[in-house]
Structure 1
Amino acid sequence: MTYAGDRRAKRKRIVGVETPLPFVFSRDESCFFGDQVQVEVYADRTIWRPGHQDALLTKIADDRENALWFAPSSGRVFAPYDGGFDIVVENSNVVARAEEKYSAWMSDLDSKL
């Protein structure tokens, strides 16, 4: 694994991210990732602001980029992808509130998918 500041670390420009910190896993991870043997992860601290991540979200929706947001204080995760998004929250009360608030965005199926 290499870190920012390491000469071997590549810098990737990520829309909406000021200074991404790269982590490159270059061991043979093929047992976990099939034929993919290198995984690149970039991290940055950011504050969510409406509209600030629109360009990155558009790339994710077009399946040209991958990203997720993680809130260390709560453990919440927002993971958008080309067909929607996944969220991970800390308890079922938060799930119920989110389902109520965003019901118009959800499928009519019981699974909400």
Structure 2
Amino acid sequence: MTAEEFKIFWTSNYPDTIPIGHHFRHDYADRWFRIHSLPDSRRYPSGPKDWDILLSRQNIILTDLFTNGSPFVLVTGEFYIEGYTDSSATNETASVKPFAFTRLEPIDLHLHDPVNYEKGQIYTLMFTEQVWSHHKYDEILRDVAEDNLRVFFVSICNNCIVAPYDGGMDIILRDSSTRDLYKERYRQWLSSREDGL
């Protein structure tokens, strides 16, 4: 997939949002639900048993939605604020360093959303095509769970997004009826809050 092909795919399937994970639940609320990675909605693992639960839940979801052996796109990016220098590049994080990323043109976040972003805030998206395999991407999921990395997974075939964060996963499905089906399937992992967070 070239950068141009990714842009065409994104604007065709997700025209109401930009490819940054925390925007999805607002921009596609009717297709969104969230699972928590640990019992009692605890945010961070406290030992090996918690890590086993977290990685098990997240792999079950991803394998259910993507299926083993299916292609997907792993997406990440880098924020830049004018006048501020950050010495660590996202693709230098150990868990994603082995992958060859394709970069897109930087997005001026202030132009996209002047209410929530200030002038000079830029985001450069990067993606890589991969093949899903159960537990193959655990190191990435660990980095996300420890808030060392932000990524999301996109199934081109199944038209869905899984965006892990430090605490759970935001999931965007093809339509609200599909969302309802999966939300019921994973009801034991949902938040008890009315807003689903």
Same fold? TM cut 0.5: yes
Q: 1:59-78 alignment to 2 at 5 Å?
A: 59-78=143-162
The one of 100, 107, 124 equivalent to 1:19 is 100
* TM-score of the aligned structures, taking structure 1 as reference length: 0.72
Q: TM-score, normalization: structure 2?
A: 0.45
Between 1:27-36 and 1:98-107, the stretch displaced more is: 27-36
Q: RCO higher in 1 or 2 (8 Å CA, sep ≥ 6)?
A: 2
Q: Pairwise mapping of residues 1-113 of structure 1 onto structure 2 (< 5 A)?
A: 12-13=91-92, 15-16=95-96, 18-25=99-106, 29-31=109-111, 32=113, 33-34=117-118, 36-113=120-197
- Give, in angstroms, the shift of residue 35 of structure 1: 5.1
Question: Runs ≥4 in structure 1, deviation > 4 angstroms?
Answer: none
Identity score, percent? 19
The root-mean-square deviation of aligned C-alpha atoms, in Å, is: 2.7
Q: CA deviation at 1:52?
A: 1.1
- Structure 1 gaps of 5+ residues are 4-9
SS at 2:104's partner residue?
A: strand
- Asked if structure 2 preserves the Cα contact closer than 8 Å seen for 1:11 and 1:22, the reply is no
Tell me how far 1:83 sits from its aligned partner.
2.7
Structure 1 residues 93 and 30, CA gap change in structure 2 (3 angstroms): closer
Note the residue ranges of structure 2 that are not aligned, 5 or more in a row: 4-88
